[in-house]
Structure 1
Amino acid sequence: MKTFTYAAVSPPGHGTPAMAFGKHIIRMMAANTGGSFGMLEVIVPPGEGPPLHVHEREDEFFRVLSGCFGFWCAGDYVELTEGGCIALPRGVPHRFRNIGEKEGCLMVVVTPGGFENFFPIIELCKPETPEQIASVAKDFGLTFLPDDDRTVA
């Protein structure tokens, strides 16, 4: 990984698409930031979002680029629209959902970087069972929580 001593740039309309669990566009990779962070855009249909999960390695920052989203983190719930931001700590169960009636878009920054590679790897590996998905997720320090734990958020 090269040292982060030069600007990392992602011009409008650029990025690497990853069609895994929806549409993701990888805008900056840890390899371009000395591991400091990764950044992606997530396009989320109405009513969609990831299940409750925990990141062991990275904190996440979200900025709503369009739409209306609900964010659950531990016992808290927040609704945000375009321009709203939220930071979620590692090690804490959380999830988000597009609660609007139209497709929404989030900018997500993970720090340290590396997790942005999860979606291209899922797209490449094409895991089919929950066990296969959990195996790939484990390599990224990600744990999806069972349905019984969803009362937390």
Structure 2
Amino acid sequence: MKPFKYAAVSPADHGTPAMAFGKHVIRMMAANTGGSLGMLEAFVPPGGGPPLHIHDREDEFFRVLSGRFGFWCAGDYLELGAGGCIALPRGVPHRFQNVGKVEGHLMVVVMPGGFESFFPIVELGKPQTPEEIASIAAEFGLTFLPPEDQNAA
């Protein structure tokens, strides 16, 4: 990986689409930032969002670009609309959900970078079972928590 000595740029309407678990656009890869960060956009339908999960390797920063989202983290819950931001620490169970009536749009920054590659890898691998998904997730330090824990966040 090259050292992060020059600006990493993602012009408007550029990025690499990844259609795993919904529509994502990878805007900045860890390889372009010396591993410092990765950035993606997520387009989330009403009611959509990941189950409760834990990232072992990275912190996450979210900015709501449009729509309204609920965020659960370490037993806390809050809602954010367009322009709202939240940072979630690694190692802590969390999830988010589009709680609005229209598609929502998030900017997600992961620090350090690397997790942004999860969605293209899932798209390429086309896992069919929860076990296959969990196997890919484990390669990225991601653990999905059991359904009975979903209300614990």
Q: TM-score, normalised by structure 2?
A: 0.99
Cross-structure match for 1:85:
85
Q: Which stretch shows the higher mean deviation, 26-35 or 141-150?
A: 141-150
Cross-structure match for 1:49:
49
Cross-structure match for 1:128:
128
Unaligned ranges ≥5, structure 1:
none
Unaligned ranges ≥5, structure 2:
none
Distance in structure 1 (CA, Å) of the matches to 2:62 and 2:124: 25
**Deviation above 6 Å: which 4+ runs of structure 1?**
none
Distance in structure 1 (CA, Å) of the matches to 2:123 and 2:139: 15
Distance in structure 2 (CA, Å) of the matches to 1:7 and 1:34: 11
Aligned length in residues: 153
Shift of 1:23: 0.3
Cross-structure match for 2:100:
100
Q: Deviations over 1:100-133 (max 9, x none)?
A: 0000000000000000000000000000000000
Matched, 1:70 2:70: yes
Equivalent AA in structure 2 for residue 32 of structure 1: N
Distance in structure 2 (CA, Å) of the matches to 1:89 and 1:3: 25
Equivalent AA in structure 1 for residue 18 of structure 2: A
**Matched residue of 1:87: which SS?**
strand
Equivalent AA in structure 2 for residue 31 of structure 1: A
Q: Percent identity among equivalent residues?
A: 78
Q: TM-score, normalised by structure 1?
A: 0.99
Shift of 1:39: 0.2
Shift of 1:74: 1.1
Shift of 1:151: 2.6
Q: Deviations over 1:10-49 (max 9, x none)?
A: 0000000000000000000000000000000000000100
Q: Which stretch shows the higher mean deviation, 64-73 or 141-150?
A: 141-150
